[in-house]
Amino acid sequence: MIKGIDHIGIAVKSIEGSLPFYEKVLGLSLLKVEEVEEQGVKVAFIQCGNVKIELLEPLFEDSAVGAFIKKRGEGLHHVALGVRTIEERIHELKEKGVQMIDDVPRKGAGEASIAFLHPKSANGVLYELCEKTLEEEKKH
Ligand code: CMX
Protein backbone atom coordinates (compact mmCIF):
# COMPACT_ATOMS: atom_id res chain seq x y z
CA MET A 1 0.00 0.00 0.00
CA ILE A 2 2.64 2.53 1.04
CA LYS A 3 5.75 2.51 -1.18
CA GLY A 4 7.88 4.43 1.31
CA ILE A 5 8.65 7.97 2.36
CA ASP A 6 8.71 10.17 -0.73
CA HIS A 7 9.66 13.40 0.99
CA ILE A 8 9.76 15.27 4.28
CA GLY A 9 8.36 18.80 4.25
CA ILE A 10 10.11 21.48 6.31
CA ALA A 11 8.51 24.92 6.69
CA VAL A 12 11.08 27.69 6.24
CA LYS A 13 10.85 31.48 6.10
CA SER A 14 13.22 31.63 3.14
CA ILE A 15 14.45 28.92 0.77
CA GLU A 16 17.38 31.08 -0.26
CA GLY A 17 18.37 31.58 3.37
CA SER A 18 17.98 27.88 4.21
CA LEU A 19 19.72 26.27 1.23
CA PRO A 20 23.34 26.85 2.36
CA PHE A 21 22.73 24.55 5.36
CA TYR A 22 21.53 21.72 3.10
CA GLU A 23 24.01 22.26 0.26
CA LYS A 24 27.15 23.55 1.95
CA VAL A 25 26.90 22.10 5.45
CA LEU A 26 25.18 18.75 4.73
CA GLY A 27 26.54 18.43 1.18
CA LEU A 28 23.15 17.53 -0.35
CA SER A 29 22.03 18.43 -3.87
CA LEU A 30 19.21 20.75 -4.84
CA LEU A 31 16.95 19.06 -7.42
CA LYS A 32 14.50 21.82 -8.30
CA VAL A 33 12.60 24.85 -7.07
CA GLU A 34 8.98 25.44 -8.06
CA GLU A 35 5.95 27.45 -7.04
CA VAL A 36 2.72 25.66 -6.18
CA GLU A 37 0.45 28.68 -6.36
CA GLU A 38 -2.76 26.84 -5.45
CA GLN A 39 -1.17 26.02 -2.09
CA GLY A 40 0.53 29.39 -1.60
CA VAL A 41 4.03 27.92 -1.39
CA LYS A 42 7.37 27.88 -3.14
CA VAL A 43 9.11 24.53 -2.70
CA ALA A 44 12.68 23.32 -3.09
CA PHE A 45 13.44 19.62 -3.36
CA ILE A 46 16.77 18.33 -2.03
CA GLN A 47 17.88 14.75 -2.57
CA CYS A 48 18.81 12.87 0.62
CA GLY A 49 19.48 9.20 -0.20
CA ASN A 50 16.23 7.73 -1.51
CA VAL A 51 14.16 10.39 0.19
CA LYS A 52 13.74 14.07 -0.64
CA ILE A 53 13.64 17.01 1.73
CA GLU A 54 11.08 19.58 0.61
CA LEU A 55 11.62 23.11 1.86
CA LEU A 56 8.30 24.99 1.95
CA GLU A 57 8.42 28.78 1.82
CA PRO A 58 5.12 30.65 2.11
CA LEU A 59 4.29 32.84 -0.89
CA PHE A 60 2.23 35.10 1.36
CA GLU A 61 1.83 35.50 5.12
CA ASP A 62 -1.72 34.19 5.47
CA SER A 63 -1.10 31.03 3.38
CA ALA A 64 -1.31 27.72 5.27
CA VAL A 65 2.47 27.43 5.61
CA GLY A 66 2.73 31.12 6.53
CA ALA A 67 0.17 30.57 9.32
CA PHE A 68 2.05 27.43 10.42
CA ILE A 69 5.34 29.37 10.78
CA LYS A 70 3.60 32.21 12.59
CA LYS A 71 2.03 29.78 15.08
CA ARG A 72 4.79 27.20 15.53
CA GLY A 73 7.92 28.67 13.93
CA GLU A 74 10.02 26.99 11.24
CA GLY A 75 10.33 23.21 11.38
CA LEU A 76 8.96 19.82 10.40
CA HIS A 77 5.68 20.33 8.54
CA HIS A 78 4.68 16.99 6.96
CA VAL A 79 5.81 13.52 5.96
CA ALA A 80 4.80 12.45 2.44
CA LEU A 81 4.14 8.77 1.78
CA GLY A 82 4.49 7.56 -1.80
CA VAL A 83 1.44 5.67 -3.11
CA ARG A 84 -0.09 4.47 -6.36
CA THR A 85 -3.82 4.81 -7.15
CA ILE A 86 -4.34 7.53 -4.55
CA GLU A 87 -8.16 7.49 -4.76
CA GLU A 88 -8.17 3.82 -3.72
CA ARG A 89 -5.76 4.55 -0.86
CA ILE A 90 -7.98 7.39 0.41
CA HIS A 91 -11.02 5.11 0.25
CA GLU A 92 -9.14 2.34 2.08
CA LEU A 93 -7.92 4.67 4.85
CA LYS A 94 -11.42 6.07 5.36
CA GLU A 95 -12.81 2.54 5.60
CA LYS A 96 -10.27 1.97 8.37
CA GLY A 97 -11.56 5.00 10.26
CA VAL A 98 -8.91 7.54 9.32
CA GLN A 99 -10.10 11.13 9.09
CA MET A 100 -8.84 12.73 5.90
CA ILE A 101 -8.30 16.47 5.36
CA ASP A 102 -8.62 15.75 1.64
CA ASP A 103 -11.30 13.28 0.50
CA VAL A 104 -10.39 14.16 -3.06
CA PRO A 105 -6.76 14.49 -4.21
CA ARG A 106 -5.43 17.91 -5.08
CA LYS A 107 -2.44 19.03 -7.13
CA GLY A 108 0.96 19.15 -5.42
CA ALA A 109 4.48 19.91 -6.60
CA GLY A 110 5.52 18.34 -9.92
CA GLU A 111 1.86 17.76 -10.86
CA ALA A 112 1.64 15.00 -8.23
CA SER A 113 -1.76 14.09 -6.78
CA ILE A 114 -1.70 14.63 -3.03
CA ALA A 115 -4.06 14.21 -0.08
CA PHE A 116 -3.48 15.01 3.60
CA LEU A 117 -4.57 12.86 6.54
CA HIS A 118 -5.88 14.77 9.54
CA PRO A 119 -3.12 14.86 12.18
CA LYS A 120 -5.57 13.77 14.87
CA SER A 121 -5.78 10.39 13.12
CA ALA A 122 -1.98 10.08 13.05
CA ASN A 123 -0.36 10.93 16.39
CA GLY A 124 -0.34 14.65 15.66
CA VAL A 125 1.72 14.18 12.48
CA LEU A 126 0.58 15.69 9.19
CA TYR A 127 0.93 12.85 6.64
CA GLU A 128 0.52 13.43 2.93
CA LEU A 129 -0.28 10.72 0.40
CA CYS A 130 1.64 11.48 -2.77
CA GLU A 131 1.12 9.87 -6.17
CA LYS A 132 3.68 11.11 -8.63
CA THR A 133 3.16 11.24 -12.39
CA LEU A 134 4.97 8.44 -14.25
CA GLU A 135 7.30 11.05 -15.74
CA GLU A 136 8.34 12.34 -12.30
CA GLU A 137 8.61 8.76 -11.04
CA LYS A 138 11.19 8.01 -13.74
CA LYS A 139 13.22 11.14 -12.92
CA HIS A 140 13.79 10.52 -9.20
N1 CMX B 1 1.46 19.42 11.59
C2 CMX B 1 0.61 19.00 12.55
N3 CMX B 1 -0.67 19.44 12.65
C4 CMX B 1 -1.08 20.33 11.73
C5 CMX B 1 -0.25 20.80 10.68
C6 CMX B 1 1.07 20.31 10.65
N7 CMX B 1 1.91 20.71 9.70
N8 CMX B 1 -0.94 21.67 9.91
C9 CMX B 1 -2.18 21.75 10.43
N10 CMX B 1 -2.25 20.95 11.53
C11 CMX B 1 -3.43 20.74 12.38
C12 CMX B 1 -4.09 22.04 12.81
O13 CMX B 1 -3.55 22.52 14.01
C14 CMX B 1 -5.55 21.62 12.96
O15 CMX B 1 -5.74 20.98 14.17
P16 CMX B 1 -7.13 21.15 14.98
O17 CMX B 1 -8.19 20.61 14.04
O18 CMX B 1 -6.92 20.32 16.18
O19 CMX B 1 -7.24 22.62 15.22
C20 CMX B 1 -5.71 20.55 11.89
O21 CMX B 1 -4.40 20.07 11.57
C22 CMX B 1 -6.34 21.04 10.60
O23 CMX B 1 -5.58 22.16 10.16
P24 CMX B 1 -6.25 23.44 9.50
O25 CMX B 1 -5.16 24.35 9.04
O26 CMX B 1 -7.29 23.99 10.42
O27 CMX B 1 -7.04 22.76 8.29
P28 CMX B 1 -7.12 23.11 6.78
O29 CMX B 1 -8.04 22.09 6.20
O30 CMX B 1 -7.43 24.55 6.58
O31 CMX B 1 -5.64 22.86 6.19
C32 CMX B 1 -3.62 21.67 5.68
C33 CMX B 1 -4.93 21.72 6.50
C34 CMX B 1 -2.72 20.68 6.36
C35 CMX B 1 -3.93 21.20 4.27
C36 CMX B 1 -2.98 23.07 5.62
O37 CMX B 1 -2.82 23.56 6.92
C38 CMX B 1 -1.61 23.05 4.97
O39 CMX B 1 -0.59 22.88 5.62
N40 CMX B 1 -1.56 23.30 3.64
C41 CMX B 1 -0.32 23.39 2.91
C42 CMX B 1 -0.02 22.06 2.43
C43 CMX B 1 1.31 21.98 1.75
O44 CMX B 1 2.32 21.70 2.36
N45 CMX B 1 1.32 22.16 0.44
C46 CMX B 1 2.49 22.01 -0.38
C47 CMX B 1 2.50 20.62 -0.92
C48 CMX B 1 3.56 20.45 -1.94
C49 CMX B 1 3.79 18.95 -2.09
O50 CMX B 1 4.19 18.31 -1.11
O51 CMX B 1 3.59 18.44 -3.21
CATH match for 4-139 among 3.90.550.10, 3.40.50.1100, 3.40.50.300, 3.10.180.10: 3.10.180.10
ipTM: 0.94
Average pLDDT of 26-54?
Answer: 96
Question: Cβ(53) to ligand 1 under 6 A?
Answer: no
Amino acid sitting at position 75: G
Residue 45 binned pLDDT confidence (cut-offs 50, 70, 90): very high
CA-nearest residue, atom 41 of ligand 1: 64
* Residues 88, 91, 95, 97, CA torsion sign: positive
Q: How far is the CA of 24 from the centre of ligand 1 (A)?
A: 30
Question: Cβ(19) to ligand 1 under 6 A?
Answer: no
Q: How far is the CA of 86 from the centre of ligand 1 (A)?
A: 19
Question: Cβ(58) to ligand 1 under 6 A?
Answer: no
> DSSP code of 102?
-
What's residue 135's pLDDT?
Answer: 79
Residues 51-95 have pLDDT tens digits of 999 999 999 989 999 999 999 999 999 999 999 999 999 999 999
Residues 89-117 have pLDDT tens digits of 999 999 999 999 999 999 999 989 999 99
Amino acid sitting at position 4: G
CA-nearest residue, atom 39 of ligand 1: 64
Residue 30 has pLDDT above 70, yes or no: yes
What's residue 140's pLDDT?
Answer: 61
Tell me the backbone φ, ψ of residue 34, rounded to 5 degrees: -150, 155
Q: How, if at all, do strands 127-131 and 75-82 pair?
A: parallel
